[in-house]
């Protein structure tokens, strides 16, 4: 379904440690209606999954994906990049048919 690069995994583990991690904590990866291209990605550290979430364990990181988002995340790679322009998570979505300059909004 979704993959995390080593750099993204390390950054998520840092955020989880800052969050005061318990054993159920994980990264929520979501697709939300909105953004300039129709859909946008959302990432959040959460204390536990929802009842209907798909729960993945990627390189020791628990990842929570709701049923709506799952249909848009197949094959998505999440990375964390740092450059002179800034730093943040990026998404490579092979299913996206378009996007915008911000890099966090896409069309399918």
Going by C-alpha positions, the residue among 49, 54, 77 that lies closest to residue 65 is 54
What separation, in Å, do the N-terminal and C-terminal C-alpha atoms of the chain show?
16
**52-77 tens-digit pLDDT:** 999 999 988 999 999 999 998 999 99
User: In CATH, what number is assigned to the domain containing residue 84?
Assistant: 2.60.300.12
User: The whole model's pTM is what?
Assistant: 0.85
**17-48 tens-digit pLDDT:** 887 767 889 999 999 887 666 788 899 999 99
**CA geometry: angle 40, 44, 50, nearest 5 deg:** 100
Q: Specify which residues 77 forms β-bridges with.
A: 3, 92
- Total structural domains within the chain: 1
pLDDT confidence of residue 18: 86
Domain span at 67: 2-18+25-107
């Amino acid at each position: 379904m979704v993959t995390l690069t080593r750099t993204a995994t390390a950054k998520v583990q840092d955020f989880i440690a800052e969050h005061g991690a318990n054993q159920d904590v994980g990264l929520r990866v979501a697709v939300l209606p909105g953004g300039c291209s129709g859909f946008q990605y959302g990432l959040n550290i959460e204390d536990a999954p929802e009842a209907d979430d798909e729960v993945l364990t990627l390189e020791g990181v628990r990842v929570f994906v709701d049923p709506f988002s799952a249909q848009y995340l197949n094959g998505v790679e999440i990375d964390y990049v740092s450059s002179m322009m800034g730093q943040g998570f990026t998404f490579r979505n092979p299913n996206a048919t378009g996007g915008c300059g911000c890099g966090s909004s896409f069309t399918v």
